[in-house]
Amino acid sequence: MLKGLAVLFLALGAFVGAPVHSADQTVDPRVALLKLLPTGSKLDDLRPSPIAGIYEFSQGADVSYLTADGKYFLDGNVYDMDTRANLTEERRTKARLAMINSVPESQMLIFSPKNPQYTITVFTDVDCQYCRKLHSQMAELNKLGVRVRYMFYPRTGPNTESWRKAEAVWCSADRNEALTRAKAGGAVDTTKSCGANPVAREYALGQSIGVRGTPAIVTETGGYINGYMPPHELIEEIKQMQSGKQPG
């Protein structure tokens, strides 16, 4: 997310400072504002915010704000002072959930108890030490009723050893067993190829969601947990998020 904002600031730097004016009051004011935003931005990325005279700009789970005259770009959270609700985080949460729900479970690796009470989607890196620690506690997570859905997020990026390991796990006859073996430090045949695989798509999705490190955990209500937590602490965090409370 921070990387995306840095690119956005660079793009805006060439434009912001000259107010937007339109003599034609019938034209959607977002059309002029769109010219100030990075190439590829769409009209639907801009919508009126809860604050008069300010537009919300969102791409994936990145949410920021732009004044209606195009003079100021704002990065930060907007709170409702009556309810103390973080309105920006609510938008991020909805965006994360929509993006996660767009992925069929056939494109995930799933470790589930018989009767799950909670489902989490975890962006994982085969070589990440805390990802390995979380996976080593899979039996305890399942016992606590947690269903884990994995997506690949090799932090080192395309054409690296971790990326090739992720592809090799996907190409294995028993993907769950291959992932468990790889996370335990076992050998992975990175020469194995099976054509189309979801690694690149899931990596791009993680970037859109704002994954900054692994494991990155998304709850079934769209809440975001950045990093490893022991199973019992993770359960408490999930409960707080599902109750609508801000995590501590």
Measure CA 156 to chain center.
17
**The one catalytic residue among 131, 132, 147, 149:** 131
Q: Catalytic annotation on 131?
A: yes
Q: Which of 131, 60, 132 is nearest to 95 (CA)?
A: 60
Is 147 an active-site residue? no
* CA separation for the pair 239, 157 (Å, rounded): 33
Q: Which of 30, 91, 132, 155 is catalytic?
A: 155
Name the active-site residue from 92, 128, 132, 164: 128
User: Token pair of 87, please?
Assistant: 């309105």
Report which residue type is found at 226. N
Q: Which of 125, 127, 147, 149 is catalytic?
A: 125
- DSSP secondary structure letters along the chain: -HHHHHHHHHHHHTTTTS----S-TTS-THHHHHTTSPTT--GGGEEE-SSTTEEEEEETTEEEEEETTS--EE-S--EETTTTEEHHHHHHHHHHHHHHHTS-GGGSEEE--SS-SEEEEEEE-TT-HHHHHHHHTHHHHHHTTEEEEEEE--TT-TTSHHHHHHHHHHTSSSHHHHHHHHHTT----TT---S--SHHHHHHHHHHHT--SSSEEEETTS-EEES---HHHHHHHHHHHHTTPPP-
Which residues participate in catalysis according to the annotation? Answer: 125, 128, 131, 155
